[in-house]
Amino acid sequence: MTELQQRIFDYVAANQPVTIASIVKSLSIYRSQYYRETEYLRESGKLTSMPGVGVFAGMSGLNAWLDNGGADLLSNWGKSNALARRNAETVVVKEDRDDSPKMFMPYRPKKNRVVPECLGSDFHRRVMMVYGRAS
């Protein structure tokens, strides 16, 4: 084990669970350097990570954390997330019942004479003659 690997392992063992960001910041190393140096430690089982929680010093550190309140913390996270999801599903969105004029109105031939006037105009006949559809 190199000196940097030992420093990383000692930091994790003293402060578990720790995030990778805190390891990188406190040891003044790059994130890519952390992954490169801890590859052997992770493969050998000396470092174990739990998504959403952090990095532990092996399975023994993870089990000790779970026994000393970590399981309750995970349970509370799950309950609060389930409650938030349930509350989000029951949100009623009010429809916009604004009486302001709409940007686009449906075409009504009796009210709107623009289209029939355009179809009967000289310009429309000339355009149709260009395409060979003279009326």
CATH value at residue 8: 1.10.10.10
Write out the residue range of the structural domain in which residue 14 sits: 3-78
Query: How far apart, in Å, do the first and last CA atoms of the chain sit?
Result: 91
Quick one: which of 25, 21, 23 has its CA closest to 9?
23
Residue 121 lies in a domain: no
Give the mean pLDDT of 3-26. Answer: 90
Residue 43 lies in a domain: yes
Give per-residue pLDDT as tens, 38-50: 898 888 888 988 8
Q: How many domains does the chain have?
A: 1
Residue 114 lies in a domain: no
As a whole number of angstroms, the distance between CA 41 and CA 34 comes to 11
What's this model's pTM, rounded to 2 decimal places? 0.57
Residue 59 lies in a domain: yes
> Which residues on adjacent β-strands are paired with residue 55?
18, 49
Residue 103 lies in a domain: no
Give per-residue pLDDT as tens, 63-111: 898 898 888 888 888 888 898 888 888 767 666 666 666 677 777 777 7
Residue 119 lies in a domain: no
C-alpha pair distances (Å), 71 with each of 15, 34, 80? 18, 28, 14
